[in-house]
Structure 1
């Protein structure tokens, strides 16, 4: 199986009028897997029932939400890690900083080695 891509033409950033346009590869998403699909795939490799697998996935989601909201890093061994990060406005003096300076929080994901390696050996095919 290969990762499919399309070609798109983009202008050079920061140049008035766009400068010289070049062609770049852009991934062509080839569908998505929902929880039902994941459960069916996991059932093939497990002795657990569909209900058990679904329960574990939902429980994992709940635990990850709670722990990220408490500022924890969630390490899922070979799957990778989830961790929170902040963006904030800068202030001149430390004492001037308040939580109002925090503009947002997001979740970052860092894949484990096996997942990263799976993509490093991927093949590519232009979508027809």
Structure 2
């Protein structure tokens, strides 16, 4: 089966926009493979039973968790490298007290081993139809829709913006980031639960 993808444009500040937009490929996943399916297929390729495979996967998860919790990088031959990534729960400055209490785990980064890349080999890619792309809206149209939206709503979430402008999640996040950098939107919520409101002078907010 081919890898499904579409093309998208990265929104750019007006002073840095190019005459010809650069397009980037973005994958659309063909579903997911469950642990049960992996267990069955692994069992077919070796002498382990399904129970043995389950026990190994369970033990692997626990052992990796222990090492990652201690800040180690874990390397699985033929698969890749795993390491923890941190983030702060709120903006931190040099004057912030008890900085250590503002730290939490952001996620686990993965870098594929070359052996795994070789297993994938040459790929087949298939572009999606135009109707499955994010809508291509001008800056004026986005501003018009936001002005209309804020005339009846007090705040905006990423999913609201995504629905309002017919964009995919990643494209919506990029546009919100751009609107914030231009001083049109501000986040009045938490770092990990953002809630956006208009800045003064935009989208019907006069003061």
Fold shared by both chains (TM-score > 0.5):
yes
Higher relative contact order (CA 8 A, sep 6+): 1
Pick one of 74, 94, 104 that aligns with 1:91: 94
Cα 1:71/1:103, change in 2 over 3 Å: closer
1:12 maps to which residue?
Answer: 11
Cα 1:97/1:116, change in 2 over 3 Å: farther
Match of 1:91, SS state, is coil
Structure 2 unaligned spans of 5+: 130-207
Q: Distance in 1 between matches of 2:101 and 2:13?
A: 32
Q: Does 1:64 align with 2:64?
A: yes
Q: Indicate if the aligned counterparts of 1:7 and 1:26 stay in contact, CA closer than 8 A.
A: yes
Q: Distance in 1 between matches of 2:49 and 2:43?
A: 7
Q: Distance in 2 between matches of 1:59 and 1:72?
A: 17
- How far off is 1:113 after superposition? 0.3
Structure 1 unaligned spans of 5+: none
Post-superposition CA distance 1:27-50 (Å, at most 9, x none): 121111110000111012111101
Q: How many aligned positions are there?
A: 123
Superposition CA RMSD, Å: 2.9
Cα 1:104/1:90, change in 2 over 3 Å: farther
Match of 2:78, SS state, is helix
Q: Distance in 2 between matches of 1:23 and 1:98?
A: 40
Match of 1:78, SS state, is coil
1:108 maps to which residue?
Answer: 109
Displaced runs of 4 or more, over 6 A: 18-22
TM-score (norm 1): 0.74
Q: Distance in 2 between matches of 1:118 and 1:49?
A: 24
Q: Indicate if the aligned counterparts of 2:39 and 2:53 stay in contact, CA closer than 8 A.
A: yes
Bigger radius of gyration, 1 or 2?
Answer: 2
TM-score (norm 2): 0.49
Post-superposition CA distance 1:6-64 (Å, at most 9, x none): 345x4632239x98777643312111111000011101211110111011111111111
